[in-house]
Chains A and B, each alone.
Chain A
Amino acid sequence: MTVELLPDLVLCVLLLVVAWSALFASTRRDAMALFVAFGMIVALVWARLGAPDLALAEAAIGAGLTGVLLLRAARKLPVSSARRFDYRRHLGALTFIVVAVSGFAVSIILPSPADITANNIDSPVAAAMSDSGVSHQVTAVLLNFRAWDTFLELLVLLFAITGLRQLFPIEKESLEPARTWQLLVSWTRTLVPLLLLVGGYLLWRGSSGPGGAFQAGALLAAGCVMLRITGMLPPLHWSSFAVRGSVCAGTLLFLCTAVLTHSLGAGWLDYPEAHAGTLILMIETLATLSIAIILTLLVAGERKDLCS
């Protein structure tokens, strides 16, 4: 037992305690606040596990944007009375947890022969890094080796926003805008330029270190959401070409790259080696734009934004 394990132990205990209290909180508001705290602790855990990419994504999307989404959704719900936890409604989730935990526990206790022989499982990735056009392994996997997955993930966002548009069929009185709370406004004024800077940095940094389109897009979206809910940003009208164009931009560039590499180059998404780095940066830039706009619409979108 070394001293270095102490922070990890604290994190583990904290994670369980916060998860438990989020599940069993007496009011909805407490549960949501605890959920955001839970997201932040998960981000810390990822950072401790040496996965800063995941930590950034978790902090930005899991804690930040999801938290805003929950709070906004709660405003539309009736005030909840104290609820009792009913185990029967959660049997499926409980079974899932038991199976998952026992499966992982068995994996740790009894490593399969393959684990021992293939100790260094990312060796094919490491071997191919020099041809990938970037120097960070996660980016190389996401944007080059398994670029098709990332392309389809961008489509997931596009599908989600098109789906969300179906939920505003009737003209309804939208919520009264949040009271312009002066502290929030000044905080937003300070934070948004910083978010823009950090988002741009993460995007640029992605080719050589942790970062990249999803993290940068999520941060930019966080800035846009703050501007949108304080009323400093006018509604993003779906009918405007700029909005629809930026929603589709990442997908369009990715698709064009795929089709052009296929018809003129070596094959589907087979980047020419000399230009791989530039291409990846271009795709990431437009993808960041698309992700930022789509996440903003998903979190802060109202009828004004999506159906006019």
Chain B
Amino acid sequence: MNDALLSLVTPLVAALIVLTGPAMTPRRASVVVLLGSAFSLAAALLALQTVTASGATQTLNLGGWEDGLAIRLRLSPLSALLLAFTALIHLLAGLYARFSRFASGDDFWVLSAFLHTALAALWLSADLFNLYITLELIGLAAVAMVALSGPKAYQAAADYLLLSLAASMIYLLGVVFLYSEYHTLDVMQLASVSADSARTRLALALITAGLMLKGALWPLHLWLPAAHAGAPAAVSALLSAVVVKGPLFILWLVWTEVAPADLAREVGPMVATAGMIALVAGGWAAMRSPYIKVLVAYSTVAQLGYALMALGLLMSWQIPQMHIALWLFVIAHGLAKASLFMAAGEMQGTLGTRRLTGLRGATQTVPIAMFAFAVAGGSLIGLPPSGGFLAKWVLLEPILSQPQNWPWAFGILLGTLVSAAYIFRVVVLAFDRATINPPDTRPHLMGHWLALLPALIVWGMALLGEQLIGLLAGGGV
């Protein structure tokens, strides 16, 4: 637990140093925040090692009060993994923002460190009200980061803020109903007392609706493309890679622990169906989008469909493979999407256009950024041996073993085809060297290589595949 708390505190300390420190230029701020992310990553890896070595989930009653009175923090292999993942993404996005030529705004540093703190607090929390506050924190930081783009992004940021607040209210109302029924907010206590009743159902429905709106899960995803496409590239990378995963984590926590198992079994197919529709509808929208970043943003909607599907099937079948698949998807998608957004930002800036057609001949003009885009896209499609392939393989195995489950496999196949379609649409344009769109400026190679880095890591995930599966195989939490 010590290391996990250290991983939580370091980014906050970095942010406070940046806020109060004397003569804090953006350059110095970047050094402080990057060091904070690196320390946080190291601490999270230590925590991961301790918790897997001991093999037991650790809990901490804050303030030393007894259960029910105190807020409990919980460190499981999964939360340690997510801590490390968040720190890694922040480190990669920070490095990109530091060395890329395209500015992310001066306050990017303090805001990204704030976001990191809030996410770490979310992964560790096991208290529904505390989770609500972390959701608010994440929402505020994310909205502020969208606004870093300047006045042209204000509309998207304002919409995001209002929807995010509405989603929080809906979630909070659900928590109020759960509290009035069971008089506790602690997830583990709720897990032992919750029963199937009308009020519990209403509460769970409200919580689910609020979280789906926050996490841009189909059909409540309409705010996402504008917000994610409007932000600076490094911010979009953070928003798509980690921010939308926060509500997903709470959704998973609520449905696998708080909800009675029978109710979860009943609702599971609906969630999985929503995921399947997200795959196809999001992919279709991405395929038809005329703008580069909007395409990437819609692809987030589609890819979250896989996670939603894994969650739904986990709820209805209650088998550990789905748990593994869900979190592998989250990690693989986070890394790949970070790379896609950074590459899109670089290409957009260098070629001087937001339109997809501006990418004609990109393999010649911005080869490294385009390579990053294609490699990360390969993981989204699920080409072996990328992280996306690993996740999809784990997801497909139990589905294919039972003939009555084949319709789900058909959905996944359709989703894969659509993702291949929108990725290849970009790649085909990029190879069109006959009518090249000349770049505005000479490509700035450092940014392009840094955009490639997360994509290389996601392809490297296959090397760690066995360890990752073993780590998540511990089951629930």
Contacts and interface: CB of A to CB of B under 8 A. Distances in A.
A267 interface: yes
Nearest to A267: B64
B63 A268 contact: yes
B13 A255 contact: yes
Contact of A103 (B61, B73, B140, B173): B173
Given A92-B166, A145-B63, A270-B63, A155 B105 contact: no
Contacts of A248: 16, 19-20
A268 B19 contact: no
A247 interface: yes
Contact of B62 (A112, A252, A269): A269
A241 B22 contact: yes
A96 interface: yes
Given A148-B71, A267-B63, A167 B147 contact: yes
A68 B66 CA distance: 43
B181 A163 contact: no
Contact of B133 (A103, A107, A152, A158): A152
Contacts of B137: 152, 155-156, 159
A155 B141 CA distance: 10
Given A156-B137, A167-B154, A244-B20, A145 B70 contact: yes
Nearest to A102: B202
B274 interface: no
Given A166-B107, A267-B64, A118 B118 contact: no
A194 interface: no
Given A156-B137, A162-B114, A268-B62, A149 B129 contact: yes
Nearest to A159: B140
Contacts of B408: none
Interface stretch (A54-62, A81-89, A121-129): A121-129
Contacts of B403: none
A118 B19 contact: no
Interface in B65-79: 65-66, 68-71, 73
Nearest to A167: B147
Contacts of A241: 20, 22
Contacts of B110: 162
Interface residues of A, number: 52
B182 to A, nearest CB: 6
A144 interface: yes
Contacts of A99: 173, 202, 206
B60 A169 contact: no
Contacts of B61: 267
Given A241-B22, A244-B20, A251-B16, A152 B121 contact: yes
Interface string A241-261: 100110110011001001100
A162 B64 CA distance: 33
Contact of A169 (B150, B183, B197): B150
Contacts of A121: 183
Nearest to A117: B183
A166 B147 contact: yes
B81 interface: no
B133 A159 contact: no
B133 A149 contact: yes
B68 A114 contact: no
B151 A159 contact: no
Contacts of B111: 159, 162-163
A114 B5 contact: no
Contact of B117 (A147, A155, A258, A271): A155
B144 interface: yes
Interface in B85-126: 105, 107, 110-111, 114, 117-118, 121
Nearest to A165: B107
Contacts of A114: 181-183
Please provide the 5 A-B residue pairs with the shortest distance between their CB atoms, ordered closest to farther.
Answer: A163-B144, A270-B64, A166-B147, A159-B140, A152-B133
Interface of B: 2, 5, 9, 12-13, 16, 19-20, 22, 60-66, 68-71, 73, 105, 107, 110-111, 114, 117-118, 121, 129-130, 133-134, 136-137, 140-141, 143-144, 147-148, 150-151, 154, 166, 169-170, 173, 177, 180-183, 197-199, 202, 206
23 contacts: A103-B202, A107-B199, A112-B181, A112-B199, A145-B63, A146-B70, A146-B130, A147-B62, A149-B71, A152-B121, A156-B136, A158-B19, A159-B140, A162-B107, A162-B110, A244-B19, A252-B16, A255-B9, A259-B9, A267-B60, A268-B60, A268-B62, A271-B63
